[in-house]
A and B are shown apart, each in its own frame.
Chain A
Amino acid sequence: MAFTDEQLERYSRHIILKEVGVKGQKKLMAGKVLIIGAGGLGAPAAMYLAAAGVGTIGIADADVVDLSNLQRQVIHTTDDLGKPKVQSAAETMKAINPDVNVVTYEDFIAANNIADIIKDYDFVLDGTDNFPAKFLINDACVQAGIPFCHAGIIRFRGQLMTWVPGEGPCYRCVFKEPPPKDAVPTCKQAGVIGAMAGVIGCLQAMEAVKFLTGAGELLTGKLLTYDALTNTIRTVNIPEDPDCAVCSDHPTITELIDYEQAACDGLSKDDVAEAAAE
Chain B
Amino acid sequence: MATNENYTIADTVDITDVVCPVTFVKAKVAIEELELGEVLSVHLNDGEPLLNVPRSLKEEGHQILALNDNEDGTYDLIVKKNA
Take A21-B32, A22-B29 as given contacts and tell me if A12 and B22 are in contact as well, using a CB distance cutoff of 8 Å. yes
**Chain B residues with CB under 8 A of A23:** 32
Knowing A13-B21, A16-B21, A16-B24 are in contact, say whether A8-B32 is a contact too (CB < 8 A): no
| Shortest Cβ gap from A6 to chain B (Å) | 11
Q: Which residues of A contact B22 (CB under 8 A)?
A: 8-9, 12
Extra 8 A-B pairs, beta carbons < 8 Å, given A15-B28, A16-B56: A8-B26, A12-B21, A15-B25, A16-B28, A18-B60, A21-B28, A21-B32, A23-B32
Residues of B within 8 A of A (CB): 21-22, 24-26, 28-29, 32-33, 56, 59-60
Let me know if A22 and B21 touch, CB within 8 A. Answer: no
What chain A residues lie within 8 Å of B26 (beta carbons)? 8
A16 near B32 with CB under 8 A, answer no
Closest B residue by C-beta to A3? B29
26 CB < 8 A contacts A-B? A3-B29, A8-B22, A8-B25, A8-B26, A8-B29, A9-B22, A9-B25, A12-B21, A12-B22, A12-B25, A13-B21, A15-B25, A15-B29, A16-B21, A16-B24, A16-B25, A16-B28, A16-B56, A18-B59, A18-B60, A21-B28, A21-B32, A22-B28, A22-B32, A22-B33, A23-B32
Q: How far is the CA of A13 from the CA of B22 in the complex (A)?
A: 9
- Considering the complex, give the chain B residue whose CB is closest to the CB of A18: B60
How far apart sit A21 and B27, CA to CA, in the bound complex (Å)?
11
Residues of chain A within 8 A (CB-CB) of B59 are: 18
- Which residues of chain B have C-beta atoms less than 8 A from A8's C-beta? 22, 25-26, 29
* Nearest A-chain residue to B29, judged by Cβ: A22
Counting from the closest, the 4 A-B pairs by CB-CB distance are A22-B32, A12-B25, A15-B25, A12-B21
Residues of chain A lying within 8 A (CB to CB) of residue B28: 15-16, 21-22
Closest CB of chain B to A137's CB: distance in Å? 36
Question: Nearest chain B CB to A31's CB is how many angstroms away?
Answer: 19
Could you tell me the distance between the alpha carbons of A1 and B32 in the complex, rounded to whole angstroms? Answer: 13
- Measured between alpha carbons, how far is A21 from B28 in the docked complex, in Å? 8
Q: Which residues from chain A contact B33 at a C-beta distance below 8 Å?
A: 22
Please indicate the chain A residues that have their CB under 8 angstroms from the CB of B56 in the complex.
16
Measured CB to CB, the closest approach of chain B to A15, in angstroms, equals 5
The 8 A CB mask of A1-31 against B (1 = contact, 0 = none) is: 0010000110011011010011100000000
- Tell me the smallest distance from the CB of B21 to a CB of chain A, in Å: 5
Shortest CB distance B14–A (Å): 12
Which A-chain residue is minimally distant from B33 (CB atoms)? A22
- Kindly provide the distance from the CB of B54 to the nearest chain A CB, expressed in whole angstroms: 15
Which single residue of chain B is at the shortest CB-CB distance from A25? Answer: B29
Give chain A nearest CB distance to B66 CB in angstroms.
24
